[in-house]
Structure 1
Amino acid sequence: MTPRTTRGSRPSRRRFLATAAASAAAVLIMSACSTGGTESAKTSGAETRTVTDIAGKVEVPAKPQRIVSVDFYSPATLVDLGIKPIGVVEGFDDPDPNLRPKRYHEALKKTATIGTYYELNIEAVAKQDPDMIFAETRFLQKGELERLQGIAPVVQLDASGVGAWEDRTLMIAAAVGKAEEGKQQQATFRKRADELKAKYADVLANNTIAVFAHGQDMSTWGTYPTGHFYVPAWDAVGAKFRPFTAGEHKGEPGTVSEWLSLEQIGKLSNADILIHSYGLQDFVTSLSKNTVWKNLPAVKNGFVFENTPAAVVSSFDWGTESLNQLDGVLAKIDAKVGS
């Protein structure tokens, strides 16, 4: 589920973004729960606990030993909590720094795989004999949730909307009996975010940004709004995102804009600062021949910058690392503003 870059190491990035655009209903479910990943004091026996996920209450092992993650997010959170899942989706063997920080690759590169988050191999999940499964259910095909529940208790997750990834991360921590550790990691993340908010208050308050990428064949472009899975670090520091223009967005919160032709790239004129996805310098260079691009205010003023790598934050520790990298990006912007 890597955002659009020039790398081809992850499957079907376009397919993910199309699926992500259909997640508004899941946002409502998450909002209705608003549990923050709390553990229930009620236990149903010495060997199980009752925790809350986006669907309600689920009974899980008190001390799970064999966890399979059929989602993209939970493996990193589990690693941060000192737990190694026995099954993960494909891709953790890829060392590309734009996919995830190196430590998650190192921890999980030899872990058994169970297909992709959007195309599971249920038999591979069963083969691992898990006692708990994490799943972001908006990506499951019809009947797959029931099949997974026939194998082991399933903790259902979602990450749609501004800050929802934090609820999801706390939910994962609570499900494995490490709610307090999760909250401590969240506190570290938020403290770092607050530091950057204060450090770059003027830049963040007085400029709108557009985080943009190209489409699958570099003939289209789109931007990521607040709440999108690609911009949690920017959301955390309170960045102001450019408003979408007419015909640019379907209106679902947190979803990427319509993929528009390069002829319409002038729509980016309402952004003071342009942030292109990590690894897209070749695309930006190719735009130098585009007259409309060259006349964008941000381009004329030299306010085009590269985003941090591995921007799809999957845990608090990952998020803190992203904020540390964002500090460098904001420092460049700040220096440019002051020059």
Structure 2
Amino acid sequence: MNRRTTRGPRSLRLRSLTLTAVTAAAVLTISSCSANAADSGKDAGSKTRTVTDIAGEVEVPAKPERIVSVDFYSPAALVDLGIKPIGVVEGFNDPDPDLRPKVYHEALKKTATVGTYYELNIEAVAKQNPDMIFAETRFLRKGELKRLQGIAPVVQLDASGVGAWEDRSLMIAAAVGKADEGKQQQATFKKRADELKTKYADVLSKNEIAVFGYGQDHSTWGTYPAGHFYVPAWDAVGAKFRPFTKGEHKGEPGTVSQWLSIEQIGKLSNAEILIHAHGSQDFVSSLSKNTVWKNLPAVKKGMVFENVPAAVVSSFNWGTENLNQLDKVLAQIDAKAKS
């Protein structure tokens, strides 16, 4: 069965990705009930449970055993909860540490794949005979949600806005009957974030940062605002982001700036600290002969640093690992600011 009640509306490599996020307000409205979605409307002995996702209510197995994830995020959250999905999107066999932490690669590198999160192979999903499917529905093509629902109950996911990825992680935990474990992992993440907020309060409060990446062929660049899926660790410690300048942003909350030409790199003059995407040293080196770049206040003061690896947080344990990495980056920033 797949009973659903509609309740309203429903983020891999970075550097050249310009995906549009739904508004934070919509997600946060939905998320208020997500953490309590574990067991509504069903007896403890029932073979099914009704859980809440971003689209409403869906009836799922009380103890799902064959979960397929057709999104980028849920596999890591499931691994954190001690659950190994039987099908995932492509990429988990890639050991690149900038794509995801090693623990998720090791856990899922031999798992059957079902296409990519943006180009799904429905037949491969059906072949796994799942009893539950996790999907970020904004990336599904026309008609694919209905086809997936014909295979197994689909728990629909999405999140954008500052901290909204946490709501998604809690929703995943609740959907598999592990809401308490999810909340415990969230508490560990928040405790670590609070430690860094206190430890680096001075440098975080006095400086605005720009987290930036490059586009195709190093010919364009763009920055990521609060709430973007590339900066959750920075959000968690209360970093202040530079404001966008005129003509730099379309206005959608949580989305990357317009991809701008290198000739417009001077727009970064309103940031005291520049954070470039992890693994983008070649791009930064290519700017060394650019006069405008060399005269940026942050560049002149040596306040240019590399972001943490695997910055696209997909789960609480992943987030906590990112905070441990961010501790090292902030230590460098703090030492430079005091020198």
CA deviation after TM superposition for structure 1 residue 231, in Å = 0.2
User: Could you tell which deviates more after superposition, 234-243 or 157-166?
Assistant: 157-166
1:326 aligns with 2:337: no
Secondary structure of 2:266's partner? Answer: helix
CA deviation after TM superposition for structure 1 residue 161, in Å = 1.1
Cα deviations by residue, 1:183-212 (Å, 9 ceiling, x for unpaired)? 000000000000000000000000000000
1:42 aligns with 2:53: no
Task: Determine if contact 1:227/1:235 at 8 Å carries over to the other structure.
Answer: yes
Task: Please name the residue that 1:32 is paired with.
Answer: 29
Task: Please name the residue that 2:13 is paired with.
Answer: 2
TM-score, normalization by structure 1: 0.94
| 1: CA distance, partners of 2:303 / 2:310 | 22
Percent of aligned positions that are identical: 79
Secondary structure of 2:221's partner? Answer: strand
TM-score, normalization by structure 2: 0.94
| 2: CA distance, partners of 1:95 / 1:37 | 32
| 2: CA distance, partners of 1:94 / 1:265 | 33
Task: Please name the residue that 1:224 is paired with.
Answer: 224
Task: Please name the residue that 1:10 is paired with.
Answer: none
Task: Determine if contact 2:78/2:173 at 8 Å carries over to the other structure.
Answer: yes
Which segments of 5 or more consecutive residues in structure 2 lack a partner in the other structure? 1-11
Q: Which 4+ residue blocks in structure 1 deviate beyond 3 angstroms?
A: none
| 2: CA distance, partners of 1:98 / 1:81 | 22
Task: Determine if contact 2:47/2:62 at 8 Å carries over to the other structure.
Answer: yes
Task: Please name the residue that 1:182 is paired with.
Answer: 182
Which segments of 5 or more consecutive residues in structure 1 lack a partner in the other structure? 5-13
Alignment of 1:227-246 (within 5 A): 227-246=227-246
| 2: CA distance, partners of 1:150 / 1:144 | 10
Aligned residues: 325
1:255 aligns with 2:255: yes
Secondary structure of 2:184's partner? Answer: helix
1:213 aligns with 2:213: yes
Cα deviations by residue, 1:59-94 (Å, 9 ceiling, x for unpaired)? 110000000000000000000100000000000000
Task: Please name the residue that 1:9 is paired with.
Answer: none
Task: Please name the residue that 1:92 is paired with.
Answer: 92
Task: Please name the residue that 1:120 is paired with.
Answer: 120
| 1: CA distance, partners of 2:324 / 2:237 | 12
| 2: CA distance, partners of 1:202 / 1:242 | 17
| 2: CA distance, partners of 1:328 / 1:104 | 22
CA deviation after TM superposition for structure 1 residue 28, in Å = 4.4
Secondary structure of 2:288's partner? Answer: helix
CA deviation after TM superposition for structure 1 residue 41, in Å = 3.4
Task: Please name the residue that 1:276 is paired with.
Answer: 276
Structure 2 counterpart of 1:32, one-letter code: T
Structure 1 counterpart of 2:189, one-letter code: F
| 2: CA distance, partners of 1:294 / 1:99 | 30
Task: Determine if contact 1:276/1:307 at 8 Å carries over to the other structure.
Answer: yes
